[in-house]
Structures are given as C-alpha cells and as structure tokens.
C-alpha cells in the first residue's frame, strides 16, 4: 500500500511541476566511456536527503574514476520518464559502454554503492578528508 501511495505522490508531483524546468548543464547521463552511478530522487524526499552527503563523498572520492550523478526528478520530470523511475530514490549503475547493469529502489548506503562499483571493476579510492 505504501508503494502505491508513494507512486501516486510521485505522479502528482510530476504533473504539477512545470515541464520546462530543464536539467542543469552537466555531463550526459550515462557519462560516455566511464562507469556511471545515477541517483534519481528529489531534494525534498527524506531518503534522498539521507543519501545526499553519501553522494557528495562518493563524487569526490571517485572523481575521474566513476561518475556519481544526482538528478532531481521533481525538477526534471523528463529524466524520471527517460529512466523509467517508479519510486524515489532509484540508483542506476551503467558500465563504460552505457549499458545498465544494476538498478536499486530506495535508500542505498555507501557500503553497498562502493561494493557495486567494485563489482564493476572500480576499486574504492583511498579515503580523502578527515574521516
């Protein structure tokens, strides 16, 4: 039942938001010739907010090795349709050729993301910063 309610809320939000709000200029998704993890969510979504600092850390740690990208599907509903998002957050992992190799629905912790990237041949870089 919760899934149906969440899906209905997502559909309502996508219908209400203006379709003209485009994706900020950035790399194409998936990034050509690079393993890419895209997190499709919304800045106002609680699990998405919980993932935000994790994605920031991963983006810095994997810079130049793998692309870590967040797309707000409430601000960019065409991206939600493009990636067939039915629940947020949704994480999609693409190989270097742009082929989807793994999809996860809901919150995904850092350990699980790092493990999936490792399965795809991207070793975890040495931690940066004071943690």
The catalytic site residues sit at 45, 48
Residues with Cβ within 8 Å of 102's Cβ and at least 6 positions away in sequence, in order, are 92, 93, 116, 119
Task: Output phi, psi for 60, to 5 deg.
Answer: -70, -45
DSSP output for 52-117: HHHHHHHHHHHTTTSEEEEEETTT-HHHHHHTT--SSSEEEEE-TTS-EEEEEES---HHHHHHHH
Kindly give, in sequence order, each residue whose CB lies less than 8 Å from that of residue 14, ignoring residues fewer than 6 positions away. Answer: 73, 74, 77, 80, 81
């Amino acid at each position: 039942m919760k899934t149906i309610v969440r899906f209905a809320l997502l559909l309502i939000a996508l219908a209400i938001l203006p379709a003209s709000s485009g994706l900020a200029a950035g790399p194409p998704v998936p990034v050509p010739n690079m393993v890419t993890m895209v997190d499709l969510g919304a800045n106002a979504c609680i699990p998405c907010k919980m993932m935000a600092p994790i994605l920031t850390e991963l983006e810095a740690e994997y810079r130049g090795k793998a692309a870590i990208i967040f797309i707000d599907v409430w601000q960019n509903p065409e991206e939600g349709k493009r990636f067939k998002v039915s629940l947020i957050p949704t994480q999609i992992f693409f190989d270097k050729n742009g082929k989807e190799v793994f999809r996860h629905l809901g919150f995904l912790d850092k350990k699980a993301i790092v493990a999936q990237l490792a399965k795809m041949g991207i070793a975890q870089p040495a931690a940066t910063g004071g943690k």
